[in-house]
A = this chain, B = another copy of it.
Amino acid sequence: MKGRKLLMIPGPIEFEPEVISAMAVATTSHAVPNFIEVFGNSLALMKKIWMAPNGQPFIVAGSGTLAMDMAAANLVEKGDTVLVISTGYFGERFRDILERYGAKTTLLKAAIGETVDLAVIEEALKIKNYKMLTFTHVDTSTGVLVNPEPLAKLANKYNVLSVLDGVCSVAGEEIRQEEWGVDVVLTASQKAIGVPPGLALLVASQRAMKAWKARKTPVLSYYSDWANWYPIMKAYEERRPSYFGTPPVNLIVALETSLKIIAHEGLKNRIERHQRLASAFRASITSLGLKLVPGDKQAANTLTAIYYPENSNGAEFCAKMAANDVIVAGGLLSEIKATYFRVGHMGSVSSKDIIATISAIEQSLDAVGYKFEIGQGLSTFQRALIRLEALR
């Protein structure tokens, strides 16, 4: 009857015990040697995990939206053109942020659960000169996964800066920032990075840094201006203290802890684990007769968006889930908000977490009167898991 419910929303997630313990290490000064090492090492580990050895990492107190804000505020000047690829709620948010900083945006919006055709994107790039292209790697609202590599190649072909919104993907989906030539990869701490919320994280390519340095007008936002943060990051990378704003010490100690765990698992192992668990979970869900929001070819491995059974009451279903001690998230995309729910399965997620979630889903479906064979979801997951584990 453990009081705590299993947290299966797409962020914050269930964190590793070591990360949670690190939050409660007594706060130290941001200027003492041991913290300088923690901060510097976190920046170094980010470059590894982002696969961007020449990138410029940033760690700043804020939410994931701040990471988007920083990319937009620093790289956009009034009148700049940006092509925004949207696969859900967060594509449109990026559009809003970009426009706030004066961008003229073109929005290519995918049908719900779909991605935008590459040919369509290339066509857009041909027709007009863009300074920048942005896309959401995994849209937290729909669970749609976009393949970044061809997009980044297109951007490079047309000499356009590319920004990958990796809030729901970094450390859960494959990203090779430098190899693919992505200019900014941004995320937040509370998703697959595995650290309580409060940190905006991003790595900028040297090309992005050059573009920023070449600006003709000042960055409109003061807090987001890289001019304030860049010298701080360089200092800590060189293991020197420096001050602009007090860094969120405890969160950064937790961040280093989690980045070390990620490095220890190995990126390949970690991505494949996400893939195995997500694939078995989708098999389980569809075996129960439920439908997924994303089409099968573009389903994310970090979260799954699932339609409620037809004619069922979503709020009642979610309440039953909570009563069964598993917290899932309701819908977020306004067009279909009341018709689906979302399950996060990223970071340190284990098969134990997912099987407990499936058990609760079955109990809740039964409780709301949905007809299905009890145990079907569990046994499907189990068979898929055993099969996928055998292939490792």
Contact = CB atoms under 8 A, between A and B. Distances in A.
Interface of A: 1-7, 9, 11-12, 14-18, 20-21, 23-32, 61-66, 69, 72-73, 96-97, 100-101, 188, 190, 196-198, 218, 220-225, 228, 243-251, 261, 265, 269-270, 273, 322, 325-327, 329, 332, 348, 350-352, 355-356, 359-360, 362-363, 366, 374-376, 378-380, 382-383, 385-386, 389
Contacts of A389: 363
A7 B27 contact: yes
Contact of A12 (B6, B29, B322, B374): B29
27 contacts: A4-B26, A6-B352, A7-B26, A12-B27, A12-B29, A12-B249, A24-B24, A28-B327, A31-B329, A62-B245, A65-B222, A66-B245, A190-B246, A197-B247, A197-B248, A197-B249, A198-B198, A223-B224, A325-B350, A351-B359, A352-B352, A359-B378, A363-B386, A375-B375, A376-B379, A378-B379, A378-B382
A348 B223 contact: no
Contact of A352 (B12, B221, B247, B325): B325
Contact of A386 (B273, B322, B366, B376): B366
A96 B69 CA distance: 20
A376 B379 CA distance: 7
Nearest to A250: B196
Given A196-B248, A325-B352, A362 B382 contact: yes
A24 B23 contact: yes
A3 B257 CA distance: 13
A14 B66 CA distance: 28
Nearest to A244: B65
Given A61-B62, A66-B61, A265-B1, A374 B363 contact: no
Given A198-B250, A245-B64, A250-B196, A378 B355 contact: yes
A12 B351 contact: no
A63 B61 CA distance: 6
B27 A15 contact: yes
Contact of A197 (B65, B246, B362, B385): B246
Most buried by B among A61, A245, A360: A61
Nearest to A360: B352
Contacts of A66: 61-62, 223, 245
Contacts of A196: 27, 248-251
Given A16-B2, A23-B23, A31-B329, A359 B382 contact: yes
A332 B30 CA distance: 14
A251 B245 CA distance: 17
